[in-house]
Every structure is written in C-alpha cells, then in structure tokens.
Amino acid sequence: MTPLKNYPPFLLEKSGKTSSPVIIASPHSGTFYPERFFHLTDLKLSEFQQYEDACVDKLFSFAPAMGLTMISAVYARAWIDLNRHPLELDPTMFSDKIPSQAKTESAWVKNGFGVIPRQLNDNKLIYKEKLRFAVEQSRLTDIHFPYHNMLKNLIKKNLNFYGKSLLLDLHSMPLLPANRFIKGKMPDFVLGTSDNHSCCGEITRTIMNLLQEMGYFVTLNLPYSGAYTTLYYGRPESHSHVIQMEIGRHLYWDAKQHAPSSNFNTLWFNLSLLMEHLLTKLPSIPL
C-alpha cells in the first residue's frame, strides 16, 4: 500500500470561478486507512466503515458545477478526526507525554472520541496497546493542520471578497435508538448551530424551511448541535457563519451492502435543488 506521505490530506474541488460565499466541507467522509493502522488494531475494515459518514461528499458532487468550493477528507475519521480540536487528546492512549496544553477534560475525549479516537463505540476499543504520541502526532501535522489551514484560507478569501462567508459542514447519522427520537420520529436532517451561536437565524430558517417544503423532518440542534468546526469558525458577529448538517443515512445508504441505496439519486437531486434555492435567496439575507 502507498505510504502515508503520498496521499493528500484533503481533496479540494472548485469551479474555475467561485461565484458564491458558500463553502461545502465533508470532514468525516474519508475512506483511506494507512496500512500501519491495521498493525495497531484487531478490528476489521468493515467495523471502521460503519464509523464513516458514508458518501456524504458524493451527495454534494454537484457543488463545483454550481460555483461552490468543496473540501473533503481523504483519511478515515477513525485515523484522524478533522471535526475535533487538535489538542483533544486522550493521555490514556499514549505511552509517552502529550502536549501540556492538551484538552484532556473535553467531553469528546472523556467519551473516547478525541482527535485520535480511542474507540468506535462503548464496546470497541481501537488499539491493541498504547500508542507513542511522538509517532502519531504526524496525523495532526500531516492531515489535520493542512485541512484546517485550507479551511481558514477559504473563509478568509470569502470575507475579503464578499464580506461574508457561509460554511456548510456535512455529516451523516445512523438510525438513532428510539429513545433519542425527536417527537417520536427519526430526524431526516439535523441542523447544528452551536445552540444558535454559529450562524445567523435567517440562514438557518431558510435552509430548514426549504428542507421541510421537500417533506423532510428537520430538527435544530437536537440531538446534534455541532462540534469543533462549528464552534471554531462560526462567528456571525464577524460575518463568518457555520451550519453543521447531519443527514440521515436511512435516506440514501444501504448499511448491509455498504453501498448507496436506491434512494441515493433522489436525495442527490433534492440537495442540488436545496442549494440552488439557497443561492437564489442568499443575496437578500444580511450576513
């Protein structure tokens, strides 16, 4: 298998001339696992694939043709989670020292889902033995840092050129247990705005209304309100807006076959309509 250094840290797709202050990001749809990973774990590829935001980037493959810039992960989130603070490190995972400023008390770290995840779920620890941070920090320097440097630059360019920026941070969610349903139903979409702190309300309502008009059940900040990307880049007071969009996999994905379901094309088309309508309305919304 090709060495780690020969794979790009992310994919960047855009048309020749960007015509909108909207950026599409997909930090959890990466599917590449370095060969070394499977020397560190007893888990199988199929178990890690359940942890991916399957094909979310493909659902928005129309974006560059609309003049939208799209940045997406290459590496799987089980290897490095691009939607975590780079210092959300779990000291119990390493045999050597981690940075003294590490956010070891983070709720994500406590639950095993730091920037280098400890586990896939409560019953599946990833690693056979402790890692060496001196070795694994390359996941940050080679992948996490370049991805977020590019994201910062894209937002900065939008702010300089348009005076505003809107980042849609895309994710997918598996079928939730019934006790986590909202109003007795599984959401089709969850829009996360860090509890209304990362994006202006009018943008959020516009996206929510457009999805609801298509017949989807949409919730706001329940059960997901956003993570690092939303918290870090969402600064409405500085005209930088971020919405985390969780898409229910039941709408497009066959988990048993690990492949798109027969409904994939319908959702792809509806999402393209969503973006088309949003871009039409965006100029009249004060950001």
Rounded CA separation 224/94 (Å): 29
Rounded CA separation 175/119 (Å): 19
% of the chain exceeding 70 in pLDDT: 97
Q: What is the pLDDT of residues 34-51, one digit of tens each?
A: 999 999 999 999 999 999
Asked whether 196 and 257 are in contact (CB, 8 A), the reply is no
Using the CB atoms, write b or e for 256-278: b if 16+ within 10 Å. Answer: eeeebbeebeebbebbbebbebb
Q: Where are the domains of the chain?
A: 4-81+139-284
Q: What is the pLDDT of residues 76-96, one digit of tens each?
A: 999 999 999 999 999 999 999
Query: Which residues are 91's β-sheet partners?
Result: none
Among residues 171, 183, 157, which one has the least CA distance to residue 51? 171
pTM: 0.95
If pLDDT is split at 50, 70 and 90, which confidence band does 1 have?
A: very low
- What is residue 69's predicted lDDT score, i.e. its pLDDT? 95
Q: Determine the topology of domain 4-81+139-284 in CATH.
A: Aminopeptidase (3.40.630)
Q: What is the mean pLDDT of residues 158-184?
A: 94
Among residues 148, 79, 144, which one has the least CA distance to residue 118? 79
If pLDDT is split at 50, 70 and 90, which confidence band does 18 have?
A: low
